[in-house]
Amino acid sequence: MRASRVAARYGARVAIAESGRLGGTCVNVGCIPKKLFAYAAHWREDFRVARSFGWVLEEPRFDWRALRANKDREIARLNGVYERALTGVGVTILRDRARVRGPHEVEIGGKLYSAAHILVATGARPHKPEIPGAGLAITSDEAFFLESLPRRALVVGGGYIAAEFASIFNGLGVETTLAYRGARLLRGFDAGLGERLASEMAGKGVKVRLNQTPISIGNGTSVRFQDGSSGSFDLVLLATGRKPNTADLGLEAAGVKLGAEGAVAVDAYSKSSVDSIHAIGDVTNRVNLTPVATAEAMWLAKTLFGGAPTPVDHDSVPTAVFADPNLASVGLSEEKARARHGAVAVYESSFTALKHTLGGSSEKTFVKLVVEERGGRVLGAHMLGPDAGEIIQGLAVAVKLGVTKAQLDATIGIHPTAAEEFVTMRERTR
């Protein structure tokens, strides 16, 4: 959608083929409905905290159907917004599935269309592991449309989606278990974040089982784990990765080279092995985040129609995981920084946020800076705690511009906030 709109503004004639709802994964079964659910899940704890601030409340009751209906209404509204945004700049919407028939030809609904440029932006889909009974489990796609909440849920996986849905279910009152085959959650993030997230989620009631994964799922839904144990659940959600949507698109027949997991192999300008065919977003399996896909879209439109060839820039991409508690990160983890830069200085702080001091909560906010030893440049900033995404977004600008630890030290903090901790850490941890 972003590529279509920007290209059209540059004066290109654009058509977009979409057989489903506009907005892709993020709008329909991803970021937007997920965060709406995450907001809902936080209210249970907020009600409890409110009592420590003097609010006398009736025991709250949660209505899943009301949340689902309100979410559906908001997504339908967004679908309409996106359709008007496309047609408003002259983009033709073709409501059918497309198959590439050649370097400049696409078949849509039985009709052939020719184009100077073809862009593949078909995203990715959830992938289920090949274990007996996997068909009895759901993925995140179906989780947004459950008729009712389960009493007991098992979430399998250790990435964004698993951590977020385990937190959502737990916050909405579901007895939740999170099982992951690895030793810590969020592989690829700074180790300190993954380790602390597991501890905080466990403190909030999620049963976290690390180094553990199901080997079979039976009717019931009974689950057998690799250590020989078993458990019974009303729902199993498999959040075990996603694969690019390239099947039956005619890409290989058209000469497009596919890489691991079926991803479209592209160069720094998002061009495939066929000069006239480009690809962006999750279908390329580079940095699978919505803002990255939209940025790739703008860079591509500028390259093809704006007279300014612009390579993609995946350096210092900030990201957040809307688990409970939230976490966010920009730049390099400590592990990657040491591998790339050798000696680094690490600054860490763990503390109880002011909001939790009256109610006796054990939740800790954690912030971390990874700093280049010689020049003092901040290589990575990481946070676990409320509003982590909002705070790291601001720091992401500074990190992108090459901020140094000395410059952060010279910045006056806003007190009392959690964010000020990033400019008040003076003593290095290691």
Q: Quick: pLDDT tens for 129-144.
A: 999 999 999 999 999 9
Indicate whether 270 and 415 sit together in one domain. Answer: no
The whole-angstrom distance between residue 296's C-alpha and the CA centroid of its chain comes to: 17
365 located within any domain:
yes
pLDDT band at residue 259 under the 50/70/90 scheme: very high
Q: Rg of the chain's alpha carbons, rounded to an integer?
A: 23
Its domain, for residue 30, covers 2-123+243-305
- From 204, 219, 240, give the residue that closes a domain: 240
Q: Which residues contact 93 (CB under 8 A, 6 or more apart)?
A: 15, 16, 18, 22, 83, 86, 87
pLDDT above 90 covers a percentage of the chain that reads 98
User: Can you give the pLDDT at residue 215?
Assistant: 97
Q: How far is CA 329 from CA 68, 322, 366, 416, in A?
A: 30, 12, 12, 22
pLDDT tens digit string along 332-377?
999 999 999 999 999 999 999 999 999 889 999 999 999 999 999 9
Indicate whether 207 and 64 sit together in one domain. Answer: no
Q: Which residues contact 336 (CB under 8 A, 6 or more apart)?
A: 380
CATH code assigned at 374: 3.30.390.30
Whether the pLDDT of residue 75 is over 90: the answer is yes
Indicate whether 115 and 167 sit together in one domain. Answer: no
Whether the pLDDT of residue 219 is over 90: the answer is no
- From 240, 257, 278, give the residue that closes a domain: 240
User: Can you give the pLDDT at residue 216?
Assistant: 97
Amino acid at 7: A
Indicate whether 401 and 256 sit together in one domain. Answer: no
- How far apart CA 203 and CA 88 sit, in angstroms, is 49
pLDDT tens digit string along 51-70?
999 999 898 999 999 999 99
348 located within any domain:
yes
User: Can you give the pLDDT at residue 57?
Assistant: 87
415 noted as active-site residue: yes
Mean of the pLDDT values across residues 186-197? 96
Average pLDDT, the chain: 97
The three-state secondary structure class of 108 is strand
Whether the pLDDT of residue 220 is over 90: the answer is no
Indicate whether 277 and 408 sit together in one domain. Answer: no
Whether the pLDDT of residue 221 is over 90: the answer is no
Rounded to the nearest 10°, the torsion over CA 292, 297, 299, 301 is: 180
Cross-strand bridge partners of residue 235 = 153
151 located within any domain:
yes
Indicate whether 117 and 254 sit together in one domain. Answer: yes
Mean of the pLDDT values across residues 20-38? 97
Signed CA dihedral, 335, 336, 337, 338: sign only: positive
- How far apart CA 95 and CA 109 sit, in angstroms, is 8
User: Can you give the pLDDT at residue 165?
Assistant: 98
183 located within any domain:
yes
- How far apart CA 318 and CA 328 sit, in angstroms, is 7
Mean of the pLDDT values across residues 228-252? 97
Quote the pTM value.
0.96
394 located within any domain:
yes
How many separate domains does the chain show?
3
Q: Which H or E run contains 76?
A: helix 64-88
Indicate whether 272 and 385 sit together in one domain. Answer: no
Of residues 314, 356, 382, 415, which has the active-site annotation? 415
